[in-house]
Amino acid sequence: MSLAGSQQKVFLRLLSALRPHWQRDANLPARIQSLFAASRAIGSRDRRLHRELIYTTLRFLPWIEPLLDTDPARAAQVTAWLAADLPATRAYRAATCGDWPACPPAVAAKAAQLGADAAALLPAWIGRHCAEAAVAPNLDALHTRASLWLRLQTPDTARVLDEFTANGWTSRCAEILPSALELLAEADVTKTKAWADGLLEVQDLGSQLILESAGVASRGRWLDACAGAGGKTLQLAALLGPSGHVDAHDIRPTALRELEARARRAGLGNIAILAAPATGVYDGVLVDAPCSGSGTWRRAPHLKWTTSAGQVTQAAEKQLALLAQFAARVRPGGQLVYATCSLSRFENEEAVTAFLAAHPDFDLEAPARDFGAIRRSAGLAILPAPHNTDGFFVASLRRR
């Protein structure tokens, strides 16, 4: 059997193990990692290949899954054709479907080539939640690999770029935000000296635009109420400067431990980790609320199939409760920034509108910069296509 034939056999075996779970397990990436760990015969190079093939399958599941029952070899060919052209996939794609026409970038053109239905690639409910996601160019962006964006934590960009160049890595700075850097090579930045010295952090460009659009002023005392592992916490601390301060809290202790390590590596001494919810008042509060995660479908395509409209509604109810809870921590004249990584208007502008109706002491503020994002009735929708990002929403509110 050829190398490509052997790889295809392993790939189909992996799909068989994952298939009972991929429409019900919201933690599927951990399951994939466990599957790789249990398959010692799969080397690191083949893991990169199979990871890309698995995630391609999840992105295009309605096109590929039916073929697994009728023609598994065809399913593997279609998956290889749709997969990104990467060093890890190139030889396999050439051997598996090398005589096929080049795979077009647009979803509509892919669908026409395969005789498939482009609309089937997203859950039916998304059209009611975010009409722009269901059509080009956002539909196309949602079905490509997510880019690796970095946030530079130093004005001396040459130190970072010189190391990347020495490693043979190409990158580009975002035109709209010079501190954001897209790494165009497949590389592990956590092995670099720049990472060890705290000169950069992994953070999607769309995520970086949230605080930039809110116009956070330097200095001041802020609360990051749902800090998680702290990507935005670190950015907020940098924006506030050494005269500012950030208290960070999250209900997950493991996330806070990671945040503490990242803050130490970045050399940021103006962050305090709160073991219990904050009780004081602040100049500003960031509520980066837990959400359905529909804005992350590029990097977590399984969420398309494990998330229901009912779950989105439940998430919106929790988000409204969090907004009400942490609004009490904003001093008069202070700023409340609400953000999600959701595409759904129910979790986004409608949650903000409901909050404002119940809290007349808060007013909606216009964004300091919109970066070309869509201005909704109550905030900014940062969609994937314009700047090659994940999807986000942000609203800035001011207490009277």
Q: Are 378 and 320 contacting, i.e. CB atoms less than 8 angstroms apart?
A: no
> What is the Cβ-side half-sphere exposure of residue 382, based on CA atoms within 13 angstroms?
29
Using CB atoms within 10 Å of the CB of residue 156, give its burial: 0 to 12 exposed, 13 to 18 middle, 19+ buried: exposed
Angle between helix axes 3-18 and 72-82 (nearest 10 degrees) is 100
Among 64, 73, 54, smallest CA distance to 15 is for 54
Beta-strand pair 245-248/221-224: parallel
Pair of tokens at residue 363: 């007013």
CA angle (338 as vertex; 334, 343 as ends), nearest 5: 160
| Sheet order of strands, 177-183 included | 171-174, 177-183, 148-152, 200-202
Q: For residue 159, what are its two tokens?
A: 């130190």
Find the catalytic residue in 130, 226, 291, 341: 341
From CA 202, how far away is CA 180, in angstroms rounded?
10
Q: Does residue 341 carry a catalytic annotation?
A: yes
- For the chain, helix (H) and strand (E) counts, in that order, are 18, 13
- What's the alpha-carbon Rg for the chain, to the nearest Å? 22
Q: Which of 166, 8, 160, 5 is nearest to 83 (CA)?
A: 8
Two tokens, residue 242: 């050494």
Name the token pair of 14. 């992996």
Task: Work out whether strand 374-376 and strand 200-202 pair parallel, antiparallel, or are unpaired.
Answer: unpaired
CB 18 within 8 A of CB 53: no
- 272, HSE (Cβ side, Cα atoms, 13 Å): 12
Question: Are 205 and 385 within 8 A, CB to CB?
Answer: no
- Return the H-helix or E-strand segment holding 173: strand 171-174
- The most distant pair of C-alpha atoms in the chain lies apart, rounded to whole Å, by 72
Distance CA 346, CA 1 (A): 52
Residues taking part in catalysis? 341
